[in-house]
Amino acid sequence: MGRSESQMDITDISTPRPKRQRWTPLEISLSVFVLLLTVIAVTMIALYATYDDGICKSSDCIKSDPYLSYSREKFAGDFLLNGAARLIQNMDATAEPCTDFFKYACGGWLKRNVIPETSSRYSNFDILRDELEVILKDVLQEPKPEDIVAVQKAKTLYRSCINESAIDSRGGKPLLSLLPDIYDWPVATENWEQTYGTSWTAEKSIAQLNSKYGKKVILNFFVGTDDKNSVNHIIHIDQPRLGLPSRDYYECTGIYEEACTAYVDFMISVARLIRKEKGLPIDENQLSLEMKRVMELEKEIANATTKPEDRNDPMLLYNKMTLAQIQNNFSLEIGGKPFSWSNFTNEIMSTVNINIPNEEDVVVYAPEYLTKLKLTLTKYSARDLQNLMSWRFIMDLVSSLSRTYKESRNAFRKALYGTTSETATWRRCANYVNGNMENAVGRLYVEAAFAGESKHVVEDLITQIREVFIQTLDDLTWMDAETKKKAEEKALAIKERIGYPDDIISNDNKLNNEYLELNYREDEYFENIIQNLKFSQNKQLKKLREKVDKDEWISGAAVVNAFYSSGRNQIVFPAGILQPPFFSAQQSNSLNYGGIGMVIGHEITHGFDDNGRNFNKDGDLVDWWTQQSANNFKDQSQCMVYQYGNFSWDLAGGQHLNGINTLGENIADNGGIGQAYRAYQNYVKKNGEEKLLPGLDLNHKQLFFLNFAQVWCGTYRPEYAVNSIKTDVHSPGNFRIIGTLQNSPEFSEAFHCRKNSYMNPEKKCRVW
């Protein structure tokens, strides 16, 4: 996707499920209170359910009658659904809120939850995703006579994924039969030079992986939105992703040494398995020599890439030139042969019958990388390069093979994520099917679990918070009137998408046609994966000569996240996030504003963060700022760069957060909480104060901030903290709480924090 298509989400994605630790006396007393509330609520619901009023109360009737479902939930009243029990369980009331609000809000949660062996981190977000996966399992596992074709295909794909006996019985054979299509893997075959060496060209080899399977090694060629003309698609050339999480890992010393060792061992193990399955002799020294050579090559490629903090300005990233100019500016020699950019490009695009002339415009995101790459590639042979490219393709497919192959990556997984067990097969499969057939799965999820009436409530919240954003522009002394006017125009032009696309429910033919070319077999999971890779890449490449569909959703419905797209100027709130603690029609409005309200403000603010501010109301990369306002924005932002950059994370070995890489998310968090709080104040002025929640000696201003904070309750394994601090554009959850609330005068006022206490520093940062 182009820079304008990059999705600014509210969190990254990870995995699930808790185990118990010993409870403290305080937790026991709180739990007894919660249990009493539960008993009362359940008793009342049971009495209501047994009352014979002539109304059908079967699960089928409830599903088809939102009002009846709402009425039964409402009958539980203020006992459970208002969130009091959840808030009490998660917090540590003995902690001092003005000293450490993370501990105050999440101390109870941290004591009750440990990270499952299958997870690299664990948080409230992960619990919600855990629960969503259970729903997906339920709706995917059983075929029904009424299933439309698209749904049938999703269920077949799921069953092929959980069919472990079939997968194990095939060993690595499905992969072995595919390798000749990508010039094989030299280390795992005999006489590679004689078989492939004479016909091998870098253009064909790199293009083959890209055009057929969407695998981008050495060069990242893709079709995406033209940032400066967002109604059109254009070819992009960028630096590739790496086999290890970030370029820092290739230092291979200190905290990264274990990961490097495990990575090379992973390569060797898979090469050994393939040679064994082929019946070829195994020379351990040769395997080690060749895979260490691959590591050296990948290390040089990593060092040639530009650091993330130097790629934050989309204006500087955008370098448009013709294909002929690329050939002149970035001549490469690979495997002893000159590299033809025209041949490479047409090798890829010929798979969708598109010819690319030398006059074709291309956007180059990484000119510095291409310049450095030239020297790197002259040091390595065709065999070295093919060993790397094939490995990176094979690496992604190991998890689709038999148990023996899966186990070869255990040490590597442990080094990167700290996990000692594989995710449950059904969970992995539910996520895989959701990721590849998001609209078919979204239909099943919505029908099973989404309360449609919440759409209208969230629409109203978006209207309120957008109005607050526009009103607060008047408060900004650093922005001039001309720029404020254009910011208002952009805010008003933001399009919202809530819940799910109506078509996935109402238009069976459209949904079936979306997956028309896919035909899965229940006993061929590997082939199904390859089919998905080809289908997805083919679909993306074809877009080059098509207009951008700005009405297209950038996310499926069964997702616990929220998104902003710069190129579409669109915010998306999938059905999966419209649930407690973020939102419920039955919980107090203070909790809704502190939950989904903050998320709405967060996503709106992404349109004006360090990346989004560079795009206009139509989604085009245009400088619409006066020079003075642009300079002032950078000054205001620098305050947050310093603030978050000064946080050191004990779980990551005391490393400091990267205030530059996390700037966009930090700006969005701070803007989101401020806008949501002001919107809640407006609600109270109009509707009056809400009733206090039972069992909590907190007013609703305090509850607003408490619910915001509890969204981010969670913790990480040290290995993943080291990974995340280099790769995640979001600050860790505890710092999202602390950093945002340190900058909030309203928070300090609500909790009566004295000046210069930890949570109420004298210096506060504000952009929006």
Task: State the catalytic residues.
Answer: 603, 669
Question: Vertex 599, ends 753 and 561: CA angle to 5°?
Answer: 130
The Cα–Cα gap between 91 and 81 comes to: 17
Residue corresponding to tokens 């040769």: 286
Q: Are 106 and 86 in contact (CB under 8 A)?
A: no
Q: What are phi and psi of 476, to 5 degrees?
A: -85, 110
The Cα–Cα gap between 536 and 56 comes to: 45
The Cα–Cα gap between 421 and 410 comes to: 8
574-606 b/e (C-beta count within 10 Å ≥ 16 → b): bbbbbbbbbbbebbbbbbbbbbbbbbbbbbbbb
Which of 664, 663, 670, 644 lies closest to 655, judged by CA? Answer: 644
Which of 726, 720, 747, 757 lies closest to 119, judged by CA? Answer: 720
The Cα–Cα gap between 174 and 525 comes to: 9
Mark out the alpha helices in 550-588 (DSSP H runs).
Answer: none
Question: Vertex 579, ends 574 and 583: CA angle to 5°?
Answer: 100
Displacement of CA 285 from its chain's centroid (Å): 40
- Collapsing DSSP to helix, strand or coil, 451 comes out as coil
Question: Vertex 201, ends 198 and 206: CA angle to 5°?
Answer: 140
Looking at the DSSP assignment, which residues form a beta bridge with residue 320?
363
496 contacts: CB under 8 Å, gap ≥ 6: 459, 462, 570, 571, 572, 573
The Cα–Cα gap between 107 and 113 comes to: 10
172 token code pair: 């690595």
Largest CA distance in the chain: 84
